[in-house]
């Protein structure tokens, strides 16, 4: 097989992915410990919020493989991709495959819900999200319940995601973890990498995301 | 005279009857009692948490005052968790009644921890106060996680 090393994930997408894992794990652990560590839980939350906004913007004006328009496909193509799972041939996508594309959307959706509800949550002790003062205790309790319940959804999706990566590794012999680490996939040589973006664009996007989070919480980070 | 005596006796009988009925607490009363004490605990722990997190200036005297209240309140909660309240409408999960000895132990641990918090607060070492506060609230969270309805 004449496969070629093709650059698919820019450094920003890779950093987003691995930082998100670190922050989700930290958020989970600090929430489980609770009490005085909730301060750091909120810190993780702001970090995740910044990452999610960055990813949303990067999906609109970022590098090609990161763009939603590149990997959001219609139902017919998704069904074909599902049927394609039977074949043990590696797939040759320059971005997420049609199934994975929708999983990205699902992840971002769950994370937005998680971030938004956390802002209003309370722990019935002495920790409150930065926007807790804007709602009644009853509303906050409900949003806290959503925050807890939605974390189970997130956990379920993470498990599905990890199992899927394992499936592609074993069944289709695709090194997706390696690609997310190095940025390179081994693809048929007809696929040429089109990953490029301006030098300042990602920094500007990151700055924009940080500003948005600051505005959302009114600069009251509860730190 | 006889009429007056009749009225007095009737009143006494009524008083004994209804007074006696009130003396045995209903399960709902026990639930309200414990909810009240827990609410009072939260009322006092809130400002302590704000001080510990330095959201407001740390006032050692006020902290010690609140810690004393918490130490008084914490041992009072368990009285409200009478088995008769098992089926009363509350936020207690059925697991609480299945693991009652564990819950009772946790409540007595909380009482000891909050007593220690009051002692530490009296000594005035800020770092120790913060540490013991962390230990105490973790016990609150322990039972909230294990035995309280998720809402």
Q: At residue B56, what are phi and psi to the nearest 5 degrees?
A: -125, 160
- B40 to chain A: closest CA residue: A125
Domain around B107: 25-147
Distance, in Å, from the CA atom of A209 to the CA atom of A215, rounded to the nearest integer, reads 10
Write out the residues of chain B at the interface with chain A, using a CB-CB cutoff of 8 A: 42, 45-46, 48-50, 52-53, 55, 130, 133-134, 137-138, 140-141, 144-145, 150-151
Residue B142 lies inside a defined structural domain of this protein = yes
Residue B138 with chain A: CB contacts under 8 Å: 33-35
Residue A149 with chain B: CB contacts under 8 Å: 150
* A34, A39, A127: residue with CB nearest B138: A34
User: How many domains does chain B fold into?
Assistant: 1
Cβ–Cβ < 8 Å for A6, A192: yes
> With b meaning 16 or more CB within 10 Å and e meaning fewer, what string describes A66-96?
bebebbbbeeeebeebeeeeeeeebbebbbb
Q: Looking at residue A140, what is its pLDDT?
A: 96
Residue B42 with chain A: CB contacts under 8 Å: 124-125
- With CB atoms and an 8 Å threshold, state whether A35 touches B55: no
Q: Looking at residue B22, what is its pLDDT?
A: 54
Residue B4 lies inside a defined structural domain of this protein = no
CA distances from B93 to A21, B136, B147, B149, B151 (A): 33, 22, 5, 6, 12
A166-178: per-residue pLDDT in tens? 999 999 888 899 9
CA terminus-to-terminus distance, chain A: 55
Residue B73 lies inside a defined structural domain of this protein = yes
| pTM as predicted | 0.86
Distance, in Å, from the CA atom of A182 to the CA atom of B24, rounded to the nearest integer, reads 72
Residue B18 lies inside a defined structural domain of this protein = no
Residue B13 lies inside a defined structural domain of this protein = no
A94-117: per-residue pLDDT in tens? 899 999 999 999 999 999 999 999
Tokens found for residue A118: 């956390």
- Alpha helices, H only, chain B: 2-23, 27-52, 60-73, 94-98, 100-123, 126-147
- List chain A domain ranges: 3-216
Q: Looking at residue A75, what is its pLDDT?
A: 94
Architecture of domain A3-216: Up-down Bundle (1.20)
pLDDT above 80: residue B16? no
């Amino acid at each position: 097989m004449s496969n070629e090393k093709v650059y698919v994930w820019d450094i920003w997408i890779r950093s987003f992915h691995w930082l998100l894992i670190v922050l989700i794990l930290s958020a989970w652990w600090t929430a489980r410990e609770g009490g005085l560590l909730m301060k750091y839980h909120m810190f993780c939350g702001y970090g995740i919020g910044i990452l999610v906004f960055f990813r949303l913007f990067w999906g609109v004006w970022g590098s090609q493989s990161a763009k939603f328009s590149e990997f959001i496909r219609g139902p017919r193509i998704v069904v074909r991709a599902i049927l394609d799972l039977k074949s043990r041939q590696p797939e040759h996508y320059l971005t997420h495959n049609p199934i994975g594309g929708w999983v990205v959307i699902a992840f971002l959706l769950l994370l937005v819900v998680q971030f938004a509800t956390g802002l209003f949550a309370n722990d019935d002790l002495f920790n409150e999200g930065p926007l807790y003062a804007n709602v009644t205790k009853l509303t906050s309790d409900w949003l806290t319940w959503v925050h807890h319940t939605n974390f189970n959804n997130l956990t379920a999706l993470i498990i599905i995601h990890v199992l899927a990566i394992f499936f592609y590794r074993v069944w289709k012999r695709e090194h997706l973890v390696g690609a997310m680490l190095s940025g390179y996939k081994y693809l048929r040589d007809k696929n040429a990498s089109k990953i490029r973006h301006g030098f300042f664009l990602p920094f500007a996007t990151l700055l924009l995301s940080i500003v948005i989070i600051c505005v959302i919480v009114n600069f009251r980070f509860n730190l | 005279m006889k009429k007056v005596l009749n009225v007095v006796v009737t009143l006494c009988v009524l008083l004994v009857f209804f007074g006696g009925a009130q003396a045995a607490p209903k399960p709902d009363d026990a639930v309200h009692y414990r909810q009240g004490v827990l609410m009072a605990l939260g009322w006092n722990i809130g400002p302590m948490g704000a001080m510990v997190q330095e959201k407001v200036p740390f006032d050692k005297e006020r902290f010690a005052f609140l810690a004393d209240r918490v130490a008084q309140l914490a041992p009072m909660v368990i009285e409200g968790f009478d088995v008769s309240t098992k089926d009363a409408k509350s936020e207690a999960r059925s697991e609480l009644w299945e693991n009652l000895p564990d819950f009772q132990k946790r409540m007595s641990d909380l009482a000891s921890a909050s007593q220690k918090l009051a002692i530490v607060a009296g000594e005035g070492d800020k770092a120790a106060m913060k540490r013991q506060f962390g230990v105490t609230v973790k016990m609150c969270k322990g039972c909230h996680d294990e035995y309280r309805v998720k809402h």
